[in-house]
Amino acid sequence: MLGTLCTLLTALTCGSAVTVVTQTPAVVTVRKGESATLHCNLGTVTGNGPRWYKQVPGETPQYMLRFHYSYSSAQYGSGFSSPKFDSKSSSETDYSLIINTVEVGDSAVYYCKTYDSGPVAVSQWQCCDCSHTDACCCHGTTVVFGPGTKLIVTDPTPPTPSLTVFPPSSEELQGDSVRVVCVAEDVSAGLADVSWLLGGNPLISGISTSSTQQQPNGRFRLSSILTIQTAVWTSGKDVTCQVTSSGSTASKTISQSDCSD
């Protein structure tokens, strides 16, 4: 009975909802050379400022900087510094990340993180005296991330990606489905959109696209696989791979007739 009461008191007195970190807008698009501003609201957190992270899809997130409204300036992670990167606050919970003179390589998803400190329920055996409900609680810290903001930097004169599309193998044609592979090279940014069309109509299923990988020349490479029914491929319909990055779009079309002897 005592244990049941203790557990109930813990649930009633120690429960604490974790703050919600919001980031706006969800997508920011700017031209190369301009400045980008990303916003973050820390909800109920005032004692901790945000930590900002940059993540190119498929790569490890990079810690950029931290800032609190009480700081005179931001504190930076390796590879990030002022005046290129900065952070400001308009209130105890509202912050912004500023990226000056953006480059195509700044295209990425940026995450805002903070720490929420508050009462947390502990295990039942640690509850010493249920007549004093504070004994059922301790203070803990929870890491809270925002949903991220996608930054897209467009280049007025971006290089056009180079596409190669590979038809299904002869072995695959013996089965019920086949794969068409699209390889894109010299993509200008680490963020790229890949789409497939069948007979000129967009496809939404059967698509698997890899993350981008940086090439020695600083540009990026990726691959995408479209899986379709063998009967669709042998019907002779055109299959098109389309890649868009930094405002530049390239497409490549192939059909079974192109592969005939």
Domains of the chain: 2-154 (2.60.40.10), 162-255 (2.60.40.10)
Q: If you count them, how many residues does the chain have?
A: 261
pLDDT of residue 19: 86
What's the Cα-to-Cα distance from 29 to each of 26, 51, 94, 170, 194, rounded to whole Å?
10, 22, 21, 43, 18
Q: What is the DSSP letter of 193?
A: E
Instruction: Let me know: does 21 contact 41? Beta carbons within 8 Å.
Output: yes
pLDDT of residue 119: 56
- With 80 as the cut, is the pLDDT of residue 133 above it? no
Q: How many CA atoms lie within 13 A of 123 on its CB side?
A: 2
pLDDT digit string, tens, across residues 25-57 = 999 999 989 999 999 999 999 989 999 999 987
What's the Cα-to-Cα distance from 165 to each of 186, 212, 224, 253, 261, rounded to whole Å?
15, 17, 9, 8, 17
pLDDT digit string, tens, across residues 193-223 = 999 999 999 999 999 999 888 887 778 899 9
Tokens for 121, please give them: 């329920």
